[in-house]
Chains A and B, each alone.
Chain A
């Protein structure tokens, strides 16, 4: 008995040692490309949209043109579900062998993906590309990290003010021209029609709240050379936060219901006729059209502080980038240009309604489709972007800003305390991301 214990102990130690030797540290993959083949198959991941057929048609046409002009190159397009894209793309970075050559990605993820070492720096190709000079500055900012370009914008998405024409007519009011008017109008509507939210707002609707901060000249964070410093607690930003959170209350959108709402919930409230106004994107058009308010609404740019001004909107949208691990870099860059070029973007607008990222193309399509005019005007007035820091992904995922808005909306903290707390958390994230 005693002897067996003496054997068992070293044996167990041996087994453990074997285990440790084979897997001492958690895995790290090498995403650097080893070659640049001028032929072969390019794999592309694009997002699977609701009603994806028209998108596929446009993409297929672009791919056919690309294959014609590039002898020996084949393209395989895969549409990945939007819900699980984060996992898919992370997995692609982790396992370069099964990774595609090109991916479509949400533009707020740019800095994070760059830090992850997933995206290739294509600054030279972008600078040498003649079409790229017409790219909207905000869209260009969304592919730029630390002065380098990591992809090409595919489309932009921007938000404006949807309002109910029938309700406004009924009450004899005009669409608001300034932020003060907007807040006053919202409260007036709710007073006259208590079963409607004046302006549907959400505590978790960060992108709907940002224009209020920017309109007052505030910023989410200031660039300080290499990194960022939170500016959400500056005097100007606080004015914007105060204006936005003043909309939560029994005189417009009761906190008990609205504090938890996100962007989709506010648009749904508008589409189902529960709100007289909402901040929705050009991409919300289809959802609103399907709702009960079809034909009874119009869109104007979200007003800024000055009468007649437009509040800076958040320039959302998607980009297409080349993966660092791609073994067909030159081909991949060419395909990226094909997919995000002026021709494809114009066709994509016709097919899906995605706003082009080129100012000239955008102006052309705005003439064809009056619905997008307020959105194009909003972009023309100068859209803004979130800090191009890898920390943004973390700030977004740890719900720092929604938490701040919810704390204020529910009356748990005042604007000063909540914004100071949020700034502290943001700074910690910036410091983490280095």
Chain B
């Protein structure tokens, strides 16, 4: 009780006096106050995070343990607690494992491709003159700024078997890109790559610009090749940036939805191109099984957290402070 009163008074003290050195009115010590001040400043952020992050996740977790479909939402049937029933359904569904595997492989490929292209173009940016650099930057920003749904629609049209210019240029006749599983995934991969490499490129480019030129100069004076400079000088110095873009890319590419949904018409022929997010959409919204959809959401959350933590640990073990 007393502790609470002190806690309540703490802001008053600092607020009224404005001088941190002013002695507190009641048995507090300066040590105690410095303990509270950071929390006070963090409070708005914590409340926002709590409301926008913790609470929805809590609801997501809660719903995943209930039988909660449209009938429950609109009051046709009572909501019941089913424990791990939704998870049992999910893990017992062979399609789920197939979709999960496809998602992991697809996301991994996307991340690697995005990082490779993004870094390569970032290095290229530092090596070209102002005009081509401007053109490349504008092109990348254009791709970045295009909404995913617009980009996907345009890409589908470009690769259309009947009217698409790509097949005409490549002389592929009426080859349908979306018919085969791998060609459809490849097409989506290209689109995802196209709209996500600019983020990597711009971030890494900014990072490279921040590297002191003497270091790079010294390396090239020593006769290091471009590849060697990247591997032994730039990459180690850019490590914090690379970590961030990698994690970002993992999260984005694992959660790909729009591209698959639009380009393969909701998951491809016989569901061959389903990824976890589209699968969750099918379950949660199209067929109104909100609880099953929530269970998929929780599984995705756990996977992403695990991947991120493992990745951070690996990086840390190599001696990087974060």
Contact = CB atoms under 8 A, between A and B. Distances in A.
Contact of B283 (A26, A31, A93, A398): A398
A28 B270 contact: no
A256 B70 contact: no
A30 interface: yes
B154 to A, nearest CB: 19
A114 B179 CA distance: 38
Contact of B286 (A31, A203, A397): A397
Nearest to A408: B270
Given A15-B50, A26-B63, A4 B73 contact: no
Interface stretch (B32-40, B96-104, B107-115, B215-223): B32-40
Contacts of B286: 397-398
Contact of A25 (B35, B79, B178): B79
B161 interface: yes
B35 A256 contact: no
Contacts of B77: 115, 117
B76 A116 contact: yes
Counting chain A CB atoms within 10 Å of each CB, the highest count among B266, B270, B271 belongs to: B270
A245 interface: no
A336 to B, nearest CB: 20
A10 to B, nearest CB: 9
Contact of B270 (A3, A114, A116, A407): A407
A410 B73 contact: no
A1 interface: yes
Contacts of A93: 70, 73-75
B269 A26 contact: no
Contacts of B4: 7
Interface string A22-41: 01011111111000000000
A260 B269 contact: yes
A163 B187 CA distance: 36
B179 A90 contact: no
Determine the interface band of chain B, counting residues with CB < 8 A from chain A.
35 or more
Question: Which of B31, B32, B75 counts the most A-chain CB atoms under 10 A from its CB?
Answer: B75
Interface in B165-220: 174-176, 178-179
A255 B35 contact: no
Interface string A203-229: 110000000000000000000000000
Interface string A379-407: 00000000000100110011100111011
A270 B90 CA distance: 41
B282 A29 contact: no
B174 A116 contact: no
Contact of B35 (A1, A116, A406): A1
B289 interface: yes
A8 interface: yes
B59 A394 contact: no
A316 interface: no
Given A31-B74, A117-B75, A259 B287 contact: no
B7 interface: yes
B226 interface: no
Interface residues of A, number: 50
B8 to A, nearest CB: 10
Interface in B1-52: 3-4, 7, 31-32, 34-36, 39, 50
Given A1-B35, A410-B270, A255 B70 contact: no
B-side interface mostly: helix
A90 B70 contact: yes
A390 B62 CA distance: 25
Contact of A115 (B32, B76, B267): B76
A394 B265 CA distance: 18
A94 B74 contact: yes
A133 B67 CA distance: 40
B71 A25 contact: no
A257 interface: yes
Contacts of A115: 70-71, 76-77
B248 interface: no
Nearest to B51: A19
B270 A26 contact: no
B3 A29 contact: no
A410 B283 contact: no
A27 B73 contact: yes
B254 interface: no
Given A15-B50, A117-B77, A412-B270, A393 B288 contact: yes
Contacts of A4: 7, 32, 35-36, 39
Nearest to B29: A3
Interface in B249-290: 265-267, 269-271, 282-283, 286-289
A397 B287 contact: yes
A106 B35 CA distance: 62
Contacts of B70: 90, 93, 112, 115-116
Given A23-B55, A90-B70, 19 more contacts: A4-B32, A4-B36, A4-B39, A19-B58, A26-B59, A93-B70, A93-B75, A94-B74, A115-B76, A116-B70, A117-B76, A117-B77, A118-B76, A256-B174, A257-B174, A259-B269, A403-B271, A406-B269, A410-B270
Closest A-B pairs by Cβ, 10 of them: A117-B76, A93-B74, A397-B286, A4-B35, A406-B270, A397-B287, A394-B287, A256-B176, A256-B179, A1-B35
Interface of A: 1, 3-8, 11, 15, 19-20, 23, 25-32, 90, 93-94, 112, 114-118, 203-204, 255-257, 259-260, 390, 393-394, 397-399, 402-404, 406-407, 410, 412, 432
6 contacts: A11-B7, A29-B73, A31-B74, A117-B71, A399-B271, A403-B271
